[in-house]
Amino acid sequence: MSTDHDHNGDGHGHGPRIGSAGSRHQRPLAIAFALTASYAIVEVVAGLVTGSLALISDAAHMGTDVLGLGMALAAIQLAKRPAAGGRTYGTYRLEVLAAVINGLLLFGVGFYVLFEAVQRFRNPPVVAGIPMLLVASIGLVINIISFKLLTAGSKESLNVKGAYLEVLSDMLGSIGVIVGAIIITVTGFRYIDAIVAVGIGLLILPRTWNLMRQALRILMEVAPPGIDIDKATAELSAVPGVREVHDLHIWTLTSGMEAATVHIVVEDDATWHRVLDQTRQVLTEKYAVTHPTIQLEPADHVETHVGF
């Protein structure tokens, strides 16, 4: 007997409900995306005009926010589409693929900023401190507005929370540029621009590594962080009426959407519906699986194992 997803007294409910929390906060996400994207372009132009590497690197940092916000919006839109054709899980993995591409680009940006900063330590250029301060201050205001727009959604949606954390970290970068601009204006210490640029670059790289690591874990279908497969197997085996558990797989389809498949061997005198409900409850409530597929098997069933 093979059972999919959800079972209750009224029958089966097929397919997870994904994206509803994020959908409620789509408008604030869109506003934050538009503000951030527009000002990232302004910062690049201003950085080139003023000669500030710190301002350019902060623009690159803000560019990561644009990509993060864009992916959050794309994920909400894609989650609304029903699975069609051969895409039985829909197009959720596009978010993960975009994260990998994003990570590769950001590594390039981060290392370029560090390389350019080393060159500037050797021969620090003249940097226009007042324009740099003005542009960075306006950028900080944009960050604060976006931060406030995303605060409520970050408490309900992991997708929105990712964008919220992007904006929060960029606020720190903007503050760094402002401090650098003030020091240049007051003291004329030109090395501070390269120092701040290095700081922002070092802020981008670890965050990019975490993004890449999470995306690659999903693509490799590794069990989500914090999930112990052996412990989950033991808890499923402890459900009354279960004789044996095998072929348990838990993986992430995309952020906030965990899937699982498992074979449950049922005792001869067990009530199958009760076993199904209780094993499903273990997966959904203890392991946050949104898409469980449970195959129940009679105790005398002889299975030929193929593959995993």
Assign residue 279 the CATH number of its domain. 3.30.70.1350
- The distance from CA 234 to its chain's CA centroid, rounded to whole angstroms, is 30
Is the domain of 251 the same as that of 211? no
DSSP state, residue 81: S
> Domain ends where: 184, 219, 254?
219
Is the domain of 88 the same as that of 132? yes
Helix, strand, coil share of the chain (percent; to 5)? 65, 15, 25
d(CA 111, CA 225): 28
Is the domain of 72 the same as that of 131? yes
> Domain ends where: 163, 184, 219?
219
Is the domain of 122 the same as that of 256? no
* Domain annotation covers residue 56: yes
* Domain annotation covers residue 15: no
Cβ–Cβ < 8 Å for 147, 168: yes
> Domain ends where: 163, 190, 219?
219
* Domain annotation covers residue 69: yes
The stretches in the chain having pLDDT less than 70 are 1-24, 54, 58, 61, 79-92, 94-95, 102, 125-129, 156-159, 162, 165, 169, 255, 301-308
* Domain annotation covers residue 103: yes
* Domain annotation covers residue 4: no
Beta-carbon contacts of 226 under 8 Å, excluding residues fewer than 6 positions away, are none
Is the domain of 175 the same as that of 238? no
Is the domain of 184 the same as that of 43? yes
Integer CA distances (angstroms), 150 to 40, 63, 139, 185, in order: 18, 17, 17, 34
Q: What is the dihedral of CA 9, 15, 21, 25, to 10 degrees?
A: -140
* Domain annotation covers residue 204: yes
Sole residue written with tokens 């112990």: 228
Is the domain of 284 the same as that of 198? no
Is the domain of 72 the same as that of 214? yes
DSSP letter for each residue of 161-228: HHHHHHHHHHHHHHHHHHHHHHHHHHH--THHHHHHHHHHHHHHHHHHHHHHHHHHHHHTTPPPTT--
Q: What CATH number does residue 31 fall under?
A: 1.20.1510.10
d(CA 228, CA 251): 12
Residue pLDDT, tens place only, 159-196: 677 677 677 767 777 787 788 778 888 887 878 877 87
Is the domain of 156 the same as that of 175? yes
* Domain annotation covers residue 13: no
* Domain annotation covers residue 8: no
Is the domain of 244 the same as that of 194? no
Based on the structure, what is the number of domains in the chain? 2
* Residue numbers of the domain that contains 111: 20-219
Is the domain of 161 the same as that of 72? yes
Task: Count CA atoms within 13 Å of residue 99 on its CB side.
Answer: 26
If DSSP codes are grouped into helix, strand and coil, which group holds residue 6?
strand
Is the domain of 234 the same as that of 168? no
